[in-house]
Amino acid sequence: MSENLYPTVRVADIPADRRRGGDLRTLLTPSRCGSTSGFMGVVKLEPGDVVTEHYHPYSEEFLYCVSGSVTLRLDGQPRPLGAEEAVLIPIGVRHRLENHGTETAHLVFQLAPLAPRPELGHVDTEEPRVVSAVLPEGAVVGEAPR
């Protein structure tokens, strides 16, 4: 079998995407491996890091926390997600990741199906950030701090 038909993608070979916070690397994509039904990647969140709120109007997101822990906000409601736990984020549900802990969190994500057009793939509901900050516990995106 040819490696070109079944490429292996190394995390270290993919540049980090930090536009929405954290260290996000999309690994298996149509352009990298010829996927036709979805894509997969990893996120590393240092203590205090976030991935800003967004939603996917066409795809479900499968999220697995490998190590560490995060607060996952689903439509603004906090939900803890710890090591070796997974969650399905349904189509259209706003979500945000926050690391309030003291250790780095490592997560794996997969989205499916692929959106037929870019505007159906990802919609930001919070300004993307170069430097991320964590909201205080109990705060909701778009509300003044308590």
User: In this predicted structure, what is the pLDDT of residue 15?
Assistant: 93
Q: Which two tokens stand for residue 129?
A: 């950030």
What is the tally of structural domains in the chain?
1
Could you report how far apart the first and last alpha carbons of the chain are, in Å?
59
Q: Is the pLDDT of residue 44 over 60?
A: yes
Average pLDDT, the chain: 87
Which tokens belong to 69?
């822990």
pLDDT bracket for residue 119 (50, 70, 90): confident
What pLDDT, on the 0 to 100 scale, is given for residue 130?
A: 52
Domain extent, residue 102, equals 19-115
Give rounded-to-5 percent helix, strand, coil for the chain: 5, 40, 50
Q: Does residue 4 surpass a pLDDT of 90?
A: no
Residue 81 placed within a domain: yes
Report residue 144's pLDDT band, with 50, 70 and 90 as the boundaries: very low
Q: Classify residue 51: in a domain, yes or no.
A: yes
The full DSSP string for 35-69 is -SS-EEEEEEE-TT-EEEEEE-SS-EEEEEEEESE
Q: Taking residues 84-88, report their average pLDDT.
A: 98
Q: Is residue 121 part of a domain?
A: no
- Is residue 43 in some structural domain? yes
| Angle at 115 (CA atoms; ends 61, 106), nearest 5 degrees | 30
The verdict on residue 131 lying in a domain is: no
Residue 78 placed within a domain? yes
Task: Give domain status of residue 141, yes or no.
Answer: no
Identify which of 37, 34, 44 has the alpha carbon closest to the alpha carbon of residue 11: 44
Q: What is the CATH number for 92? A: 2.60.120.10
The SS3 assignment for 18 reads coil
Compute the average pLDDT of residues 29-55.
94
Whether residue 13 lies inside any domain: the answer is: no
Query: What is the rounded radius of gyration, in angstroms, for the C-alpha atoms of the chain?
Result: 15
